[in-house]
Chain A
Amino acid sequence: MAEYMLELKGITKTFPGVKALDNVYFKLKPGEIHALMGENGAGKSTFIKVITGVHPADEGELYFNGQRVDIKNPTDAKRMGIAAIYQHVTCYPDLSVTENIFMGHEKIQKRTKRILWNDMHTAAEGLLKELGAGFSPKTLMGSLSVAQQQIVEIAKALSVDAKIIIMDEPTAALTKRESEDLYRIAEGLRDKGAAIIFISHRFEDMYRLASRVTVFRDSRYIGTWNVDEITNNDLIIAMVGREITQLFPKKEAQIGEELLRVEGLGRTGYFADVSFTLRRGEILGLTGLVGAGRTEVCQSLFGIERSDKGKVFLNGQEVNIRKPDDAMRKGMGYLPEDRQKQGLVLQWSIGRNITLSSLKKVSGKGVLNLEKEANLAKSLAEKMNVKAKSIFDLAGSLSGGNQQKVVFAKLLTTDVEVIILDEPTKGVDVGAKSAIYEIISDLACQGYGILMVSSEMPEIIGMCDRVAVMREGRITALLERHSITQEAILQAAMADERPLQQQY
């Protein structure tokens, strides 16, 4: 057997406008758990898609057990025994667990083509037992929890006898104890000879499981280390790659009176007991792991989903926000997490997108004034420094950073004082990032109160005056400027604690 089960050399993958992977290397030994780490947008997901054949590589070489191979489609990967377990489980909620496990490779009688249900149920039961799951294989997939569905996905990988199992952020949506079970399962698989690529944000996951770690940054390969040979600090520098304060042009803003106060906000099943205040000129960070409830809090504040507990005060007045329109009228704007789906009408021109939130301003008695509209759009596009020839360019044709600037421009057309930014630099290239930080900093100086949700540690540390950290739907720490450190945030985001008692 070759020394490496899987070896990737100089892999490059380009999407229109973006180099998603740039000359990347990766080596996987048999029977190891190998952590793959990096910030959002470092190229981890594209890397998986190359290995699983969803997006074949443009350049580079792949070796499987020392043999040069091409993985052109998912079937090739499947044949080689590569299985992936995705962050967002892709399953058939209306079908049974057994069917979900065996979809695509059902056991059938050779001659009559009849499905051998009993064989499949027995095999599924065996797999589930092996993984320590207590539910029956006849259960409907849709009625399982996310953790249970992940077990099914793992069982699916086992059922095809996968040699290489890729787990993409499997612990993101799991509680502490559920993660602990997942670790044991992963170790069990490793002991049986499977090699596991474990992708995660969590340092905890890496230290607990992996023997080696590979780091990607900005679509490039940074290095591979043995886990016990690299210090926490070096790993962070490898991931972040720069002195944290350099990139952030934060100017000191005059912090004024209180704009927003939230008291005991809660929504069943998503978050509870969320309280904080936001002052004029202040940037308040809201961080935590993916799935901790940050976006849900913002969307409740903005009236996308209704919260069922708690109070919200704007400028000292209690407000009842039922829909985004209310929020904007009362002076609160929101920059959504997914700009392509929630922020922009991609088929539309830049100009129309910019004015969409404030059509009232460019109309009289409900009738649009196109000239006024064009002027407003032009002035804001220029103010945000959007790189485009005219306001009639389609929003869909812009790069990620420019699209985000358009969404900012749209936000600024409205008369708001409080701005909620949900992952404002997600999927934006490095150059455009600092431009966006500059915009945010300027806004704070102009006296806006800014609530910034982010998963990116450096961004939070470099930009925020205060930081609220969430874990499992609750705020676990509120850090003042001088006490904002990587360690403090990480500790609050995943402190070791029993799961909170169940609520009924």
Chain B
Amino acid sequence: MNTFDPPAAAPRGIWPKSMLSARIAKFRELGLLGFIILLSIGVQLRNPSFLTLENINDMATNTAILGILAVGMMLVIVTRGIDLSIGATLALSGMIAAQTVSAFPEIPPVAVLLIGTVTGLVSGIVIGFLVSKIGILPIIATLGMMNIFRGLTFWTSGGKWVSAHQMPVDFKAIATGKLFGINNLIVIAIIIYVIAYYFVNHTRTGRQIYAVGSNPDSAVISGINRDKILWLVYSIMGGLSGLAGVLWVSKFASAQGDTASGYELSVIAACVLGGVSIAGGSGKISGIILGSVLLGILNNALPLINISAFWQTGIQGAIILAAVLINAIVKRGVDRNHLMRRKI
């Protein structure tokens, strides 16, 4: 490496260390963790059956699907997009998978998972095409495709349910079975998180997703293929929704036209809670794990402390709004601090 003497008059002090925003980012995850712990303790005091092994396992299993979807949603939001179609994609893939197993009961579970994932992947590719190549706003494209996928779900099923007795035991075992004593859903979620962590942090493509979200114009100057990245994130989102669809149908042992209706909102809530910025460019795997866990606990704990299930929607909405507003206010504080530091 070429070297020359560092200028003597430029000691450390000249560049003020301004890592406030970084510190706040760290602080928010600790804060979230603290909040989860406090919430758990509070609920436990009200209802001792909360922190039992059985309930924790239950909660983790329930959160797994949410967590899987949050990975895809995080990537979409990082590129400044949003995907409202995932509930419908999930339902469509789940329905196709359920019909396949009810028609061919001897099909191996892995093949079913594959069928569901591929269905979701195709759905995601279509959305990615609309957003990246045609240039439709993500909200409009996914709102339209949501309707189309929902309609297709009803159409393929002829409006009928696929219920538990039409599904072979093997299929239902996907969600109930265990590997090394841990529920399969949790295992799958963990595998996906490990892959996702490696992907977003240690591959060029993963980093390019963040670059596109952080500054789309610079990304093009840096030679990043923006269209390709956008197409990719919606495809990943679709693939994960497809996988989640099979898991969902296996877990609840039924596939219906309105499966997971409105579930996309929970997923977005998990991301926003986990600190994924709606303005794009930032979001961490550890954050969305915490976000998903917090939502999972809330959903599980509210009935345990006698809060009506009908309050859940409202509470979820309030949490999203609060998280978004707090993010914005913290950001303003950081910007203001930067200004104060200027020498005027």
Report A-B touching, CB under 8 Å: yes
Asked if A393 lies at the interface with its beta carbon under 8 angstroms from chain B, I say: no
Q: Size of chain A's interface in residues, with CB distance under 8 A?
A: 62
| Given the contacts A90-B215, A91-B218, A75 and B223 also touching, CB distance less than 8 Å | yes
A145 to B221, CA, bound (A): 22
Instruction: Choose from A134, A151, A472 the contact partner of B12 (Cβ within 8 Å).
Output: A134
Report yes or no: B214 in contact with A95, Cβ–Cβ below 8 A.
yes
A497 to B299, CA, bound (A): 62
Report yes or no: B210 in contact with A94, Cβ–Cβ below 8 A.
yes
| Given the contacts A103-B211, A268-B339, A94 and B281 also touching, CB distance less than 8 Å | yes
Contact stretch, chosen from A9-17, A23-31, A136-144, A407-415: A136-144
Interface residues of A in 61-119 (CB under 8 A from B): 74-75, 90-95, 99, 103-104, 106, 108, 113-115, 117
Report yes or no: B18 in contact with A143, Cβ–Cβ below 8 A.
yes
> A74 — which chain B residues lie within 8 A by C-beta?
221, 223
A115 to B205, CA, bound (A): 10
Contact stretch, chosen from B1-9, B184-192, B257-265: B1-9
Interface residues of A in 269-309 (CB under 8 A from B): 269-272, 293
| Given the contacts A184-B7, A474-B344, A269 and B339 also touching, CB distance less than 8 Å | yes
Asked if A502 lies at the interface with its beta carbon under 8 angstroms from chain B, I say: yes
A-B contact count (CB 8 A): 148
> A374 — which chain B residues lie within 8 A by C-beta?
none
Across the two chains, which residue of chain B brings its CB closest to A180?
B9
The interface bits of chain A over 224-246 (1 if a CB of B lies within 8 angstroms of the residue's CB, else 0) are 00000000000000000000000
The interface bits of chain B over 281-295 (1 if a CB of A lies within 8 angstroms of the residue's CB, else 0) are 110000000000000
> B2 — which chain A residues lie within 8 A by C-beta?
130, 158, 192
Asked if B22 lies at the interface with its beta carbon under 8 angstroms from chain A, I say: yes
Interface residues of B in 11-31 (CB under 8 A from A): 11-22
Asked if B309 lies at the interface with its beta carbon under 8 angstroms from chain A, I say: no
Asked if A188 lies at the interface with its beta carbon under 8 angstroms from chain B, I say: yes
> B18 — which chain A residues lie within 8 A by C-beta?
143-145
> B201 — which chain A residues lie within 8 A by C-beta?
115
A131 to B6, CA, bound (A): 6
Report yes or no: A143 in contact with B19, Cβ–Cβ below 8 A.
yes
| Given the contacts A104-B222, A115-B207, A184-B7, A148 and B15 also touching, CB distance less than 8 Å | yes
| Given the contacts A104-B224, A474-B344, A504-B340, A94 and B7 also touching, CB distance less than 8 Å | no
Report yes or no: A132 in contact with B7, Cβ–Cβ below 8 A.
yes
Asked if A366 lies at the interface with its beta carbon under 8 angstroms from chain B, I say: no
Instruction: Choose from B210, B336, B338 the contact partner of A92 (Cβ within 8 Å).
Output: B210
> B341 — which chain A residues lie within 8 A by C-beta?
145, 502, 504
Interface residues of B in 189-234 (CB under 8 A from A): 201-204, 207, 210-211, 213-215, 217-219, 221-224
| Given the contacts A75-B223, A113-B204, A134 and B13 also touching, CB distance less than 8 Å | yes
Report yes or no: B6 in contact with A135, Cβ–Cβ below 8 A.
no
A219 to B235, CA, bound (A): 48
> B4 — which chain A residues lie within 8 A by C-beta?
130, 188, 191-192
Nearest CB on B from A503, distance (A): 7
A143 to B340, CA, bound (A): 13
| Given the contacts A95-B211, A115-B203, A192-B4, A184 and B19 also touching, CB distance less than 8 Å | no
Nearest CB on A from B303, distance (A): 38
A421 to B282, CA, bound (A): 40
Report yes or no: A500 in contact with B7, Cβ–Cβ below 8 A.
no
Asked if B342 lies at the interface with its beta carbon under 8 angstroms from chain A, I say: yes
Interface centre among B1, B2, B12, B334 (most CB of A within 10 A): B2
| Given the contacts A74-B221, A94-B213, A177-B14, A114 and B343 also touching, CB distance less than 8 Å | no
Report yes or no: B16 in contact with A113, Cβ–Cβ below 8 A.
no
Asked if B53 lies at the interface with its beta carbon under 8 angstroms from chain A, I say: no
Report yes or no: A142 in contact with B21, Cβ–Cβ below 8 A.
yes
Nearest CB on A from B151, distance (A): 37
Report yes or no: A503 in contact with B22, Cβ–Cβ below 8 A.
no
| Given the contacts A103-B211, A501-B343, A115 and B10 also touching, CB distance less than 8 Å | no
> Other CB < 8 Å A-B pairs besides A92-B219, A113-B203, A144-B18, 10 of them?
A92-B281, A95-B211, A99-B211, A103-B211, A115-B204, A130-B4, A134-B13, A269-B342, A473-B344, A504-B340
Give me 10 A-to-B residue pairs in the complex whose CB atoms sit less than 8 angstroms apart, sorted by A's number. A92-B281, A104-B223, A114-B203, A115-B207, A135-B17, A178-B14, A180-B9, A184-B10, A192-B4, A268-B339
Closest 6 CB pairs of A and B: A269-B339, A134-B12, A94-B281, A473-B344, A132-B10, A92-B214
